[in-house]
């Protein structure tokens, strides 16, 4: 833990999963943390939907002192069931070897916020980043109410539309790029699922489920104590949206409500009855235009005192279930490195070491996502199943193991020791 003389002042823009994890981890080490969050509070309406958290990220969460709270908000699955889209025929059933949990994003944010506040993290809600000025020994961060926050270092954890990212020279003209893919998020209360035998059966299965085919895929799981079912419906056909009359290439707004639910249901009519019944049971759906950041984004400025984590640095498509997980890893790695610094602080060395360590990992996730899209876009009759080609879990088995066996904290310590041996850090 940092002593009083060596405690750093850290400003974090963005109170999402990554920002709160960094705040808690750094505060646990005695640093002074201020989180600048544009929301007034964490509500279901602004918190997003379900999160699938794999073992690599669970490791990060268990370091935060929230074990019991996490158990209370998490659902688990012991199997991964893959079905053909048109008739629901089982194509594979794979045991979940590593612990995986499913939570509502807002529930996790509330747990993280309570823990951060308990530790003494300071919050400035309803405020957004406006500008920064680098001074000799830190940064001055101006926020939307005109106040100036003084800090030794600024962490940008404010997502794909980050305001911190363009403040780093070289990033000013690098906007997110639409991929043409779209994801639709549907949360169905258990009471509605129970109204039909086919949808009610989903609750009897100890699995998270996939339907694959027709250039689309659906991933589903329970959450909130099995009182709600979350569906992530990935559509790789959408392109610019012309087939639904929504030819919108704007990157100003990535998330919106589906305006025409009958048309949306019609676009999934070739999926099995369980899916159609589920869609009949809901009145609204969230549409998410998938955008990514190019890999040449700079993750820090030359001084090393402005550093990006999570989607602010490397937003990618959500098809591998690793968006929040990578933000958790980023926060864990960077916090571990910062907490081991001693005066005189070599911020550029730490920022560069963090990026060198994390960028290959993010590239691996992007490669996995491309492989998943390729499987989902196979002709319907070619969807892998028993006795034919390997199933999706088997095709990606090695990649999944590499992802899930990763211990971000331990890997950060290894890199830190390497820096010490090479004389690259103080």
Query: Under a CB-based contact definition with an 8 Å cutoff, are residues 364 and 403 in contact?
Result: yes
**Which of 333, 221, 211, 230 lies closest to 268 in space, CA to CA?**
211
The pLDDT tens digits for 379-394 are 655 555 443 444 555 5
The DSSP 8-state label assigned to residue 146 in this structure reads S
Q: Looking at the structure, tell me whether residues 22 and 143 fall in a common domain.
A: yes
Domain closes at, from 276, 292, 308: 292
Q: Looking at the structure, tell me whether residues 288 and 299 fall in a common domain.
A: no
- Three-state SS at 425: coil
- Three-state SS at 369: helix
Is residue 21 domain-resident? yes
Q: Looking at the structure, tell me whether residues 137 and 35 fall in a common domain.
A: yes
Token pair listed for 43:
């509500």
Is residue 90 domain-resident? no
pLDDT score, position 245: 40
Buried b (16+ CB within 10 A) or exposed e, 263-296: ebbebbeebbebbbbbbebbeebebbbbbbbeee
pLDDT score, position 420: 64
The pLDDT tens digits for 301-325 are 999 999 999 999 999 999 999 999 9
Residue ranges making up the domain that contains 196: 189-292
CA distance 364 to 349: 24
Q: Looking at the structure, tell me whether residues 153 and 141 fall in a common domain.
A: yes
pLDDT score, position 396: 58
Q: Looking at the structure, tell me whether residues 171 and 229 fall in a common domain.
A: no
Domain closes at, from 243, 269, 292: 292
User: Which region, left, alpha or beta, applies to residue 28 given φ > 0 means left and ψ of -120 to 50 means alpha?
Assistant: alpha
Q: Looking at the structure, tell me whether residues 137 and 194 fall in a common domain.
A: no
Which CATH number goes with the domain that contains 158? 3.50.50.60
Mean pLDDT by 10-residue block, N- to C-terminus, for the chain (426 residues)?
74 98 98 96 69 95 96 91 90 82 95 98 97 94 98 97 95 91 91 87 81 92 90 81 48 80 93 93 90 96 97 95 96 96 90 96 93 79 46 58 90 85 54
- Write out the DSSP string of 288-302: EEEEE--TT--SB-T
pLDDT score, position 304: 96
CA distance 82 to 72: 28
Domain closes at, from 248, 272, 292: 292
The DSSP 8-state label assigned to residue 372 in this structure reads H
Is residue 91 domain-resident? no
Q: Looking at the structure, tell me whether residues 204 and 265 fall in a common domain.
A: yes
pTM of the model: 0.92
CA distance 266 to 69: 40
Q: Which residues contact 131 (CB under 8 A, 6 or more apart)?
A: 141, 142, 167
Is residue 93 domain-resident? no
Q: Looking at the structure, tell me whether residues 207 and 164 fall in a common domain.
A: no
pLDDT score, position 150: 98
Token pair listed for 399:
């990649």
Number of domains, the chain: 2
Q: Which residues contact 161 (CB under 8 A, 6 or more apart)?
A: 176, 254
Q: Looking at the structure, tell me whether residues 343 and 363 fall in a common domain.
A: yes
Q: Looking at the structure, tell me whether residues 169 and 71 fall in a common domain.
A: yes
Query: Under a CB-based contact definition with an 8 Å cutoff, are residues 100 and 207 in contact?
Result: no
Is residue 92 domain-resident? no
Q: Looking at the structure, tell me whether residues 219 and 314 fall in a common domain.
A: no
Q: Looking at the structure, tell me whether residues 137 and 14 fall in a common domain.
A: yes
Is residue 181 domain-resident? no
Is residue 137 domain-resident? yes
Is residue 103 domain-resident? yes
């Amino acid at each position: 833990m940092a002593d009083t003389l060596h405690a750093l002042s850290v400003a974090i823009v963005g109170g999402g999963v990554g920002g709160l994890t960094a705040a808690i981890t750094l505060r646990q080490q005695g640093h002074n943390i201020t989180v600048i969050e544009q929301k007034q509070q964490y509500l279901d309406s602004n918190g997003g939907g379900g999160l699938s958290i794999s073992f690599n990220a669970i490791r990060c969460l268990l370091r935060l002192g929230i074990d019991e709270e996490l158990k209370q908000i998490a659902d688990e699955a012991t199997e991964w069931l893959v079905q053909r889209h048109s008739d629901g025929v089982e194509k594979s059933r794979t045991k979940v070897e590593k612990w995986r949990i499913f939570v509502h994003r807002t529930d996790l944010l509330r747990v993280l916020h309570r823990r951060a506040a308990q530790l003494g993290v300071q919050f400035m809600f309803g405020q957004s980043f406006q500008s920064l000025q680098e001074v000799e020994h830190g940064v001055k961060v101006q926020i939307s109410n005109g106040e100036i926050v003084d800090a030794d270092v600024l962490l940008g954890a404010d997502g794909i539309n980050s305001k911190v990212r363009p403040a780093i020279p070289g990033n000013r003209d690098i906007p997110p790029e639409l991929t043409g893919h779209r994801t639709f998020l549907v949360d169905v209360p258990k009471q509605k699922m129970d109204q039909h035998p086919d949808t009610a059966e989903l609750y009897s299965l100890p699995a998270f489920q996939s339907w694959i085919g027709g250039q689309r895929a659906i991933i589903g799981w329970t959450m909130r104590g099995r009182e709600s079912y979350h569906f992530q419906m990935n559509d790789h056909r959408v392109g610019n949206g012309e087939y639904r009359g929504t030819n919108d290439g704007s990157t100003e707004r990535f998330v919106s409500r589906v305006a025409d639910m009958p048309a949306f249901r019609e676009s999934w009519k070739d999926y099995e009855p369980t899916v159609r019944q589920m869609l009949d049971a809901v009145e609204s759906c969230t549409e998410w235009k998938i955008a990514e950041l190019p890999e040449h984004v700079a993750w820090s400025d030359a001084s090393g005192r402005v550093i990006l984590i999570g989607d602010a640095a490397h937003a990618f498509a959500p098809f591998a279930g690793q968006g929040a997980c990578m933000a958790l890893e980023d926060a864990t790695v960077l916090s571990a490195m910062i907490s081991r610094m001693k005066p005189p602080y070599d911020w550029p060395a730490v920022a560069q070491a963090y990026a060198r360590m994390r960028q290959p990992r993010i590239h691996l996730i992007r490669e996995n996502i491309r492989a998943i899209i390729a499987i989902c876009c196979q002709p319907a009759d070619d969807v892998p199943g028993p006795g034919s080609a390997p199933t999706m879990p088997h095709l990606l088995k090695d990649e999944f193991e590499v992802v899930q066996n990763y211990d971000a904290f331990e890997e950060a310590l290894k890199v830190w020791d390497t820096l010490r041996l090479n004389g690259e850090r103080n």
